[in-house]
Amino acid sequence: MKFKKVISSLLSTLVLMIFIVLVAAVVLSKASGGEPAFFGYEIKTVLSGSMEPDIQTGSIVALKPGGDMNRFKAGDVITFMSEDNILITHRIVEATVNGTTGEAIYRTKGDNNDAADTAPVQSANVIAEYTGITVPYIGYAMNFAVSKAGSVLLMIVPGLLLLSYALYSSWKALMALEKKNAALPPAPPVSDSPQ
């Protein structure tokens, strides 16, 4: 029984810590005007189904920014800035090198698309490499979190959850104390007569 309580307590603490870290990351990135990032990996939301079934619409993906953007080859999945200033995550189907500049040029395609993208991608426009880590449906929540209404909720909801948890813990402690007091034998009556 004691083992179950320890495990339950550890799991509750772990879930609470993960929740706090996620909330803090979203709030801090929102305050700084950037994207959420964890341990050097950028977290982006996928808003189209072009990479399904591997990356579903509404998923979040972990991307590794930086490094030599000329290093990629066919089969790698990259995130790049399109000519319309939209971030796109697609697979490289062909990699060539510009003979005069030495810069890599990538032909990309979404796994779920019938044809390759019309515009080639210059290595200077590559933002990051897809790490293969994706979590379905969380992207919808992340998009909401960076909205004005979501930001307000992320300020209020954690406080309410912590307050609720504190009240619940206090109630459990009081119930345990009452149960313990009820189990004690009644005190003997006190007599006023001298002995």
β pairing state of 121-122 and 126-135 = unpaired
Rounded distance between C-alpha atoms, residue 20 and residue 116, angstroms = 41
Q: What is the mean predicted confidence (pLDDT) over 122-138? A: 87
Chain centroid to Cα 125, Å, comes to 25
DSSP-derived secondary structure letter, 87: E
Closest by CA to 15, choosing from 149, 139, 165, is: 165
Domain boundaries, the chain: 36-145
pLDDT of 80 above 90: yes
Rounded distance between C-alpha atoms, residue 32 and residue 127, angstroms = 19
Res 66: pLDDT? 83
Res 43: pLDDT? 79
Res 18: pLDDT? 66
Catalytic residue numbers? 48
Q: What is the mean predicted confidence (pLDDT) over 5-30? A: 70
Average pLDDT, the chain: 81
Superfamily of domain 36-145: Umud Fragment, subunit A (2.10.109.10)
Between 115 and 157, the more confident residue is 115
Give the predicted TM-score (pTM) of the model: 0.59
Identity of the amino acid at 143: N
pLDDT of 99 above 70: yes
pLDDT band for 179, please (50, 70, 90 cuts). Answer: confident
At 28-75, the pLDDT tens digits run 665 555 566 667 788 788 888 889 888 888 888 888 988 888 899 999
pLDDT of 16 above 80: no
SS3 state of residue 134: strand
Closest by CA to 140, choosing from 56, 17, 18, 27, is: 56
